[in-house]
Amino acid sequence: MKRRTNILGFAGAVALAFFALLSTTSCADRREVGDLSNAGGASLETREYYEQALEIAKNLASRSPDDAQALSNLSASYNGLGDLAYAEGSCQEAREYYEQALEINKKRVSRSPDVAQALSVLSASCNNLGLLAKAEGSSQEAREYYEQALEIDRKRVSRSPNDSQALNDLGVSYNNLGVLLEAEDSYQEAREYYEQALEINKKRVSRTPDDLEALRNLSAPYNGLGNLAEAEGSYQEAREYYEQALEIVKNLASRSPDDLETLRDLSALYNELGVLAKAEGSYQEAREYYEQALEIREQLVSRTPDDAQALSDLSGSYFNLALLAEAEGSSQEAREYYEQALEIREQLVSRTPDDLETLRNLSASNINLDLLAYAEGSYQEAREYFEQALEIREQLVSRSPDDPEALRELSVSYNNLGSIAYEEGSYQEAREYFEQALEIREQLVSRSPDDLEALSDLSFSYQRLGALAEAEGDQAKVKEYQKKLEELETRGI
C-alpha cells in the first residue's frame, strides 16, 4: 500500500477525494426510485470536478493499466460524467460515457471474475445503460441491459446470500424490469418483478430497519404495484400500495428533510394519490394531495432552478390542478394552471429540443388550452393552440413513424383543426383536416383491428365527415359514412 502511495503521489490523493464523491452519486444507486439526474441538479462546477477527476483517473490508469483501483476510479469518472450528461438532456454524450465505463468494468470482471466489487459495478453499468435506453424509448435494448444486470446480481446473491449490497442490487434490477414492463403494458410480468423486488427489500429492511437506502428501495415496488393496480382499475388496492409507500417516504423525509430525492419521491406519491382520488370523483381530496405535491415541487425548483426533472415535475403539478379545476367547472382557474404548465414546458423544450417526452408534454399543454378556448367559443385562440400542437405532433411522428400513440395524437390534432374550420364555415378546409385524420385512423385499425380506442376514433371520423357532408348537402356521402358507421356498430362500437 505504501508503494502505491508513492507511485500515485499528490495526484492520487487529489483523485481519491474526487472518487469518494463519484462513488456516492452513481446512477445505478438512484435507479427508478429517483432518476438518472444528479441529486442536486447538474451544474458547471460539478462538471468541472468530474472532468478533473477523469483526467487524473486516465493518468493513473495509463501508469498502472493493471491496477484494479485505477480502473475502478476511471470507471467511476465516466459514470459520473454520464449522469451529468443525462441530467442535461445530452443522451448521446451520456451513452458514450456509460459505454466507456461498461468496457472498463467488463475488463475488470474478466480479470477478477469472483471479486464482488467488480461484479457490482458491472451490474451498475448495465443498469445505467438500461435506464438510458428506456429514456430514449429503446425498450428492447433496455430490457437486454436490465437482464444482464439481473443475471449478474442473481449470481452474486447465490454466492453470498447475506451480502447486503448484492441484495440491494438484485432488488434494483427486479424493480427496473418491473418499471420497463409496466411502461409496455405487460402488467402481469411487471407485477412478478415488482413482487420479487418487494420480497428482497422487505428482507433487507427487516435486517437493517434504520438503513435509509433499504427503506427507499422498499418504497419503490410498493409504488409500482400501486401503478399496476390503478391501471387495472383496482383503486382500493392501488390506494393501499401508495399509502404503504407514502408511509415509508414520510419516514425518510422526517429523517432527511433536506434530501432532494426523498422530497421528489414524496411529491410523486402525493401526486399519485391525487390522481387516484380524482379518478374516484373525490375532487376535494384530490386537490389536497395535488397541493401538497405542488408545495414540495415549488420548493425543489426554488432550490435547484436549473434541474430539468424538478421543472418537469412542477409543470405536471400545474397541469393536474388545471385538469381538476376544469372537471370542477372552474375554467378561469384551469386556464391559469395550464398557462403555468405551458410556460415551464416551453422552457424545457428550448433546453432539450430533441427530448420526445418533453415535446409530448408541451403538445398536451397546447391541446388542453385549445380545447378550453374552443369550449368557450374562442375559435381563433383555439386555432393557434391547435396549430402549435399539430406542429409538435408532426415532428414526433417524423421521428417515430410507427409509434401508434404518436400517430393517434396526430390524428386528434387534424380532427381538432377540422372541427375549428367546420365551426367557422370553412368546409373545404375542414374536409382536408378530417380526411387526414381518417387516413391515420384507418391505418391504425388495419394494424390493430381489435383495438377499441382505434375503432372508436375511426367511428368519430366517420361521424365528423358525415356531419360535414350533410352541411354541404351531399346526401350520397352522408349515406356512405352512415353505412361505414353501421359496419363498425356490428363490431360493438
Binned at pLDDT 50, 70 and 90, residue 199 comes out as very high
Radius of gyration in angstroms for the set of CA atoms belonging to the chain, rounded to a whole number:
26
**Statement: residue 492 has pLDDT above 70:** no
pLDDT of residue 39: 40
**Statement: residue 20 has pLDDT above 60:** no
Q: CB 330: neighbour CB atoms within 10 A?
A: 14
What's the rounded mean pLDDT across residues 153-162? Answer: 94
Q: Residue 401 falls within a domain, yes or no? A: yes
pLDDT of residue 135: 86
Same domain, 399 and 485: yes
Same domain, 372 and 484: yes
Q: Domain count of the chain?
A: 2
pLDDT of residue 53: 85
What's the rounded mean pLDDT across residues 250-254? Answer: 96
Q: What is the CATH number of the domain that holds 459?
A: 1.25.40.10
Which of 454, 393, 403 is CA-nearest to residue 138?
Answer: 403
Binned at pLDDT 50, 70 and 90, residue 27 comes out as very low
Q: Residue 80 falls within a domain, yes or no? A: no
Predicted structure pTM score: 0.75
Q: What gap in Å lies between CA 358 and CA 376, rounded to an integer?
A: 28
Q: Residue 65 falls within a domain, yes or no? A: no
Range of the domain at 414: 360-493
pLDDT of residue 43: 58
What's the rounded mean pLDDT across residues 146-169? Answer: 94
The residue among 354, 370, 401 that closes a domain is 354
Q: What is the mean pLDDT of the chain?
A: 87
Per-residue CA distances from 131 to 92, 260, 384, 395 (Å):
13, 20, 36, 24
- Tell me which of 389 and 370 has the higher pLDDT: 389
Binned at pLDDT 50, 70 and 90, residue 360 comes out as confident
Q: CB 32: neighbour CB atoms within 10 A?
A: 21
